[in-house]
Amino acid sequence: MPGQLKEVRNRIKSVQSTQQITKAMKMVSAAKLRKAQDAIIQMRPYAQKLQDMLSNIVSNSDGSVSMKLAAERPVNKVLFILVTSDRGLCGGYNANLVKLAKQNIEEQYAEQNRKGQVEIWGIGKKGSEAMLRAGFKTNDTYRDTFLKLSFETVQQASAAAMDAFVKGEYDVVELVYSQFKNAATQMFKVERFLPIPKVANTTPGKTNADFIFEPGKEELVAELMPKILNTQLFKAVLDANASEHGARMTAMDKASDNANELLRSLRISYNRARQAAITTELTEIVSGAAALNS
């Protein structure tokens, strides 16, 4: 019985120590989430407006301007940019992103995948490592982007993807990331990064925006396209950064609640074992006293 009590006490101490860690991680993630949330909220309207403008320019192009980044061609080689986190302990966040990437490859690019023409660029260690274990061709050049998150570091990955697309190394570039809604909700998305998607005008009586270019359309398009695409990828990475902290905060909050339930159960078991030990000792004392009196 004493051995059983000691075992339960040790388990209670272990769970309490774990709970302290989960509470601390929740507080750290909550502090980081505020900063990450402010960054994406400020960035999102600007990025969305740029994306709309870029899509309208591509849709209204009459072929007089060279748009290499919007060139559509038969899909033989595919690149996926998978944005995940560097660390775990954030619930199903990374697993859901990896699952979405695999599902999209199976549904949209199964033939290319069989030929080994699908490559994964991981931004964040978890996605890159998971896809490598799954047998996909991966490139981990940009997986440490979150160690020093800035527009310049993200731009390196974006510029490399654009350069590879223009050279014909890839025919399609897909972006897999998590769009931040709130601390408890993330939307896992696959978006076409290259070629630049066109706007589908399906509203009767509505026309696409008609831009006036100054000094010239050719010069402005060549300058604007890369900058807008850099902004789009940076926006996706900021979304992912906020989503990660929200998911980790939620996961650690649930872990702390589960620890409370487990502690409650262990304390009940400890008290029952202690009461049983006391009852046994009292029974032995009474039996001994009765034996002496007889």
| Residues labelled as active-site residues | 90
pLDDT of residue 59: 72
Instruction: Establish if 272 belongs to a structural domain.
Output: no
Q: Is 152 exposed, middle or buried (0-12, 13-18, 19+ CB in 10 A)?
A: exposed
pLDDT of residue 257: 92
Instruction: Establish if 121 belongs to a structural domain.
Output: yes
Residues 6+ apart with CB under 8 A from 104: 80, 174, 176, 190
Instruction: Establish if 270 belongs to a structural domain.
Output: no
pLDDT of residue 203: 46
Position 63 pLDDT exceeds 70: no
pLDDT of residue 286: 79
126-133: average pLDDT? 93
CA–CA separation, 167 vs 165, rounded Å? 5
| Secondary structure class of 203 (helix, strand, coil) | coil
Q: What is the average pLDDT value for the chain, to the nearest integer?
A: 87
The secondary structure of 214-274 as a DSSP string is: SS-HHHHHHHHHHHHHHHHHHHHHHHHHHHHHHHHHHHHHHHHHHHHHHHHHHHHHHHHHH
Residue 207: pLDDT band (50, 70, 90) is: low
CA–CA separation, 167 vs 136, rounded Å? 22
How many domains does the chain contain in total? 1
Position 268 pLDDT exceeds 50: yes
pLDDT of residue 49: 87
Residues of the domain holding 52: 21-201+210-252
Instruction: Establish if 218 belongs to a structural domain.
Output: yes
Note the pTM of the prediction, 2 decimals: 0.83
Q: How many CB atoms lie within 10 A of CB 89?
A: 15
Instruction: Establish if 86 belongs to a structural domain.
Output: yes
Do residues 9 and 270 lie in contact, with contact meaning Cβ atoms separated by under 8 Å? yes
Instruction: Establish if 173 belongs to a structural domain.
Output: yes
3-state SS, 151-170, equals HHHHHHHHHHHHHHHHCCCC
| Secondary structure class of 210 (helix, strand, coil) | coil
Instruction: Establish if 94 belongs to a structural domain.
Output: yes
Cross-strand partners of 139: 121
85-90: average pLDDT? 90
Alpha-helix residue ranges (DSSP H) falling in 60-80: none
* Domain CATH for 225: 3.40.1380.10
Which has more pLDDT, 2 or 130?
130
Instruction: Establish if 140 belongs to a structural domain.
Output: yes
pLDDT digits (tens, 9 = 90+) for 163-180: 999 999 999 999 999 999
